Structure 1
Amino acid sequence: MRSEMKRRIATVASVAAVAALLLSGCATADPAQGSKPAAGATIKIEQGSLTGAAATGTIEYLGIPYAKPPVGDLRWHEPEAPEPWAGVLDATKPGPDCPQTVNGDSDGSLSENCLYLNVYSPDKPKNKKLPVVVFLHGGGYTGGTPNIYDGRNFAATGDAVAVIPAYRVGLFGFFASPATAAESEFGAQGNWGMLDQQQALRWVQDNINAFGGDPDNVTIVGESAGGGSVCFQLASPTAKGLFDKAVIQSMACGLGDTPADTTAYAAQWGCAADDAACLRAVPASTVVGSASGFGFAQPVSGGPDQPVDVLAAAAAGTLADVPLIVGVTRDEWIGFESGSYPLAPADYEARIAGEFGPLAPKVLERYPADAGEDPIFPLGWVHGDAGFACPTVVGADTFAKAGNSVHFYEFADRTVPGWRSLGDPFPPSTLELGATHTTELQGLFNYTAAQRSLNDEQRALGDQMVSLWLSFMKTGEPTLKGAPEWKEFGDKRQILELKTKSAGGLKMITSFEKSHNCDLWNNLG
């Protein structure tokens, strides 16, 4: 029974960001809008010269190729270093999204030529060598784009350089067949999107000094599937030395490592699974339209890029020896369940019975139908606690035992807006969905697919988080003047709770596991 429950919980976690995409409305924005070429913003990197654009406090270099276009023979192949260019590259506009259907983070795209990144550097850097943050976007491994985020909050302080890369998603990012296995040592797993991220990190090592960044002080930060990507890189031998610190937001490591059956798509496309030429001739529109739903694309272990998953690597002593921040939002899954509003209590109880079988009475005892304004709330708490909060505790324990320093946070401010939903408003604007998935991203990376803008108090909370993340990037210790000391998770189970000032502000708590019923979820059997 315990293995079956772990399977169900793994499914909850691995599809989280995909559900967000399906429940969201289209919200792509151009981060270069309103910017202009900046005086003195022409710089030279290994591939050639490029010119950026000025924004408030920053110079932004958008749409920089960090790999050869993964087209033709490079479709379903590990990324290769970019070619040099002649003249001066116009880096004032972002590159295209990687191929994906229309979703809450993208207008959709069929452009396979998508391996670009955006760099945000201060117009007045405080030092010659600044720490670097590389943000890996979410989207359930099936969607997402760097172009709905930016690094201005970090760069405008003068204290950091920010990099946000695209990477292949969906079947373009996670596809393996006998044809790919025969060509490459990486082909049997097909973790092309994860290898793209590593190529972006190699590009950072080679070029970031031209933007004022320090290649010896790189922090990778990821949210949702981006957080799962950080988990992958922590366990990957081929990522060794490419980063120095890591932040995992809203994703439980160690779940979702069962490979999808991608060889079935070859027959659907009229190709033999070992015919690389036929597979690479399939139109992008056909590939994009071939799969939908949950879990069809995700990284897997078993190859040279990740022999074992991150928790096994930690137990074996092969995890990257870097400081970590891990954390979740207080109400991770409620936004996903908002599409079921209003939910009848009997329907809620039937869903719990269907998902948890003989364990359903225990679940309903902790999460009765009337626990919130509507049964979507306890349903959201069930899935958020089982798939995010409590497995993140397991990960924090495992990392700490491996010798990594671990600082744990909970973004608990229930006033901050979440992502755009099925309609506007949907659910009714009177129904607050709490600190659901993505609510911390506006304050950190100016996530544009949100329901509304932050108010002054919410922005102040975001500024506090930026300062904490910057402190961690600089020293490995997240500190903020005037805030409580953020102690390591450790044996005392201490977690930093993040709220706006009027909601209680920042404080250390030890009640996290009790409030999320982790005795239930982490001790099933």
Structure 2
Amino acid sequence: MSEDCLNLNVWTAAESSHDRRPVFVWIYGGRFTSGYGSDPTFDGAGLAEKGLVVVTFNYRTGPFGFLATPVLTAESPHGSSGNYGLLDQIAALKWVHRNIKAFGGDPDRVTIAGQSAGAASVLELINSPLAKGLVHRGISESGARGTDDPEIAALAESYRPTLAGAERQGLTWAAQHKATTLAQMRALSVEELLDGLDDNDTTVEGPVNGHPPLFRPVLDGYVLARTYEESLSRGLHSDVPVITGNNKDESGASTAPGATPTSYQAMASKKYGDLADEFLALYPAATNAEADAQTNASARDNSRVSTSLWATEWASRAKSPVFKYFWTHAPPGQTQGAYHGSEINYIFDNPYATDLPWTDDDRRIAATMSRYVVNFSAHGDPNGRGLAHWAPSGPGSFTSMELGDDFGPLLDADAARRAFHKRYFEAQPPW
């Protein structure tokens, strides 16, 4: 293992370097601590056969990708440290911009897409001044949430540390590894550096999903010059079309919540505080079955409303459209339902790439889902002939596109529940 890992994979069915096909660049997830571009789940042949040039790549994670310390900052000509993983991603996009014509790709139609930490990376690159002109569309899977939403600590904008905060934590981490100088840090073996890879940032805590990872993007003033919200308000982001959404069985929802009325009420009290009575009136549960059902219903409403609030903010400031979705299909041969990441094989139209008992229905869903992706990559709009219409979101729009078990519009939540979740987000303290 080494940092000499910055390789790309390219799939193309172009017959000539003059084809100018849309380019689809995938950024893997993994909580900013793991992942690799050659994962079979990301095999790009299915999308390449449909007309895209597909690129996957490696970027550094954990301390290799996101460690910040004062001495690293002092060494930098830009006065920053901690965003090496994002710089790797930007370097990959620059490589695509310079070289993708040789593979029949169009450097002026580059879609960046990713899931989980990859989805957060998509939004960070849209926000980064260093990626301006390199990104023309964005797909953020299980990514974009309202700026007041603390639910997904690893992804939330509000959990991005400042450079000074990241440097303090970096010094603590280095001391724990018995390294007090830059030379000592660089002398550590890979095994020593990976010790504590999955450590959390215990200085902040989300109400549901716990602490964010210690190693994650940093508001360093260079790669991330300002918060997403500030960039959007000042029109400094990359104004590109965006697809974003959530999955049915993630963000607190699951196929087996295991709730009881007692545990459900305790959760409501801990999470919603002064709003707990209103929550329980909107999501009442008197039996174990009802507690399970309402746990899931409230979590799903919460995530969809949060993403709709993000989309409302985007639509009020950006000229480019945003398309929201809610993924509902469970891959075969497992019991986790439409889990976190369950949409990826369908996005890539590559059921052949992983060993699951795929059915004709799965292949049909993958064929449909990937057509939306191809259309979006080509035109900035997922719609096309023979597909259910996917309307873009406008200010105050609370409808998402169901993808998976069905394809069509889906109300995020009824008016009373939408209003409740909006108040809940607005009541959150600054994180």
Relative to the length of structure 1, the TM-score reads 0.68
2:205 is matched with none
Deviations 1:158-195 (A, max 9, x none): x1100011111122211100111101155644111111
Offset of residue 237 of structure 1: 0.5
User: Of 256, 262, 282, which aligns to 2:159?
Assistant: 256
Report the AA paired with residue 170 of structure 2: T
Deviations 1:139-167 (A, max 9, x none): 1112222222211221012x110001111
The residue matched to 1:147 in structure 2 has which SS?
coil
User: Of 29, 32, 56, which aligns to 1:141?
Assistant: 32
Contact 1:176 1:187 in 2 (8 A): no
Given the superposition, is the C-alpha separation of residues 123 and 235 from structure 1 closer, same or farther in structure 2, using an over 3 Å criterion? Answer: closer
The residue matched to 2:304 in structure 1 has which SS?
helix
Please give the alpha-carbon distance, in whole angstroms, between the structure 1 residues aligned to 2:409 and 2:52. 27
Given the superposition, is the C-alpha separation of residues 367 and 146 from structure 1 closer, same or farther in structure 2, using an over 3 Å criterion? Answer: farther
2:22 is matched with 131
1:271 maps onto 2:179 in alignment: yes
1:507 maps onto 2:400 in alignment: no
2:196 is matched with 290
Deviations 1:408-441 (A, max 9, x none): 23234344359xxxxxx6xxx5xxx443321211
Q: How many residues align?
A: 393
1:78 is matched with none
1:193 maps onto 2:97 in alignment: no
Please give the alpha-carbon distance, in whole angstroms, between the structure 2 residues aligned to 1:442 and 1:146. 14
- Correspondences of 1:394-405 after superposition (within 5 Å): 394-405=309-320
Please give the alpha-carbon distance, in whole angstroms, between the structure 1 residues aligned to 2:189 and 2:236. 40
Q: Whose helix proportion is higher, 1 or 2? A: 2
- Correspondences of 1:95-494 after superposition (within 5 Å): 110-122=1-13, 128-148=19-39, 149-157=42-50, 159-185=51-77, 188-253=80-145, 254-259=157-162, 260=166, 261-272=169-180, 275-292=181-198, 293=200, 294-295=211-212, 296-334=214-252, 342-369=258-285, 373=289, 375=291, 378-386=294-302, 388-417=303-332, 429=335, 433-445=336-348, 446=350, 452-491=356-395, 493=397, 494=399
Q: Could you say which structure has the greater relative contact order, defined with CA pairs below 8 angstroms and 6 or more residues apart?
A: 2
User: Of 483, 486, 496, which aligns to 2:401?
Assistant: 496
Given the superposition, is the C-alpha separation of residues 358 and 495 from structure 1 closer, same or farther in structure 2, using an over 3 Å criterion? Answer: closer
Report the AA paired with residue 521 of structure 1: H
Given the superposition, is the C-alpha separation of residues 145 and 369 from structure 1 closer, same or farther in structure 2, using an over 3 Å criterion? Answer: farther
Contact 1:227 1:249 in 2 (8 A): yes
Offset of residue 349 of structure 1: 2.8
Please give the alpha-carbon distance, in whole angstroms, between the structure 1 residues aligned to 2:355 and 2:14. 30
The residue matched to 1:411 in structure 2 has which SS?
strand
Offset of residue 127 of structure 1: 6.8
Q: Percent of aligned pairs with the same residue?
A: 31
Offset of residue 203 of structure 1: 0.8
Stretches of structure 2 lacking an aligned partner (at least 5 in a row): 146-156, 201-210
Report the AA paired with residue 362 of structure 2: Q
Report the AA paired with residue 151 of structure 1: G
Contact 1:333 1:380 in 2 (8 A): no
Given the superposition, is the C-alpha separation of residues 385 and 508 from structure 1 closer, same or farther in structure 2, using an over 3 Å criterion? Answer: closer
The residue matched to 2:139 in structure 1 has which SS?
strand
Offset of residue 453 of structure 1: 4.2
Deviations 1:498-525 (A, max 9, x none): 233xxxx32234x224389332222233
Given the superposition, is the C-alpha separation of residues 342 and 508 from structure 1 closer, same or farther in structure 2, using an over 3 Å criterion? Answer: closer
Please give the alpha-carbon distance, in whole angstroms, between the structure 2 residues aligned to 1:126 and 1:499. 35
Report the AA paired with residue 107 of structure 2: P
2:154 is matched with none
The residue matched to 2:270 in structure 1 has which SS?
helix
Please give the alpha-carbon distance, in whole angstroms, between the structure 2 residues aligned to 1:447 and 1:277. 47
How much is the aligned-residue C-alpha RMSD, in angstroms? 2.9
Offset of residue 451 of structure 1: 8.8
Please give the alpha-carbon distance, in whole angstroms, between the structure 2 residues aligned to 1:327 and 1:170. 26
- Bigger Cα displacement from structure 2, 484-493 vs 449-458: 449-458
Please give the alpha-carbon distance, in whole angstroms, between the structure 2 residues aligned to 1:230 and 1:395. 15
Report the AA paired with residue 365 of structure 2: L
Offset of residue 378 of structure 1: 4.1
The residue matched to 2:223 in structure 1 has which SS?
coil
Contact 1:407 1:487 in 2 (8 A): no
Report the AA paired with residue 276 of structure 2: A
The residue matched to 2:12 in structure 1 has which SS?
strand
- Bigger Cα displacement from structure 2, 408-417 vs 215-224: 408-417
Offset of residue 225 of structure 1: 0.9
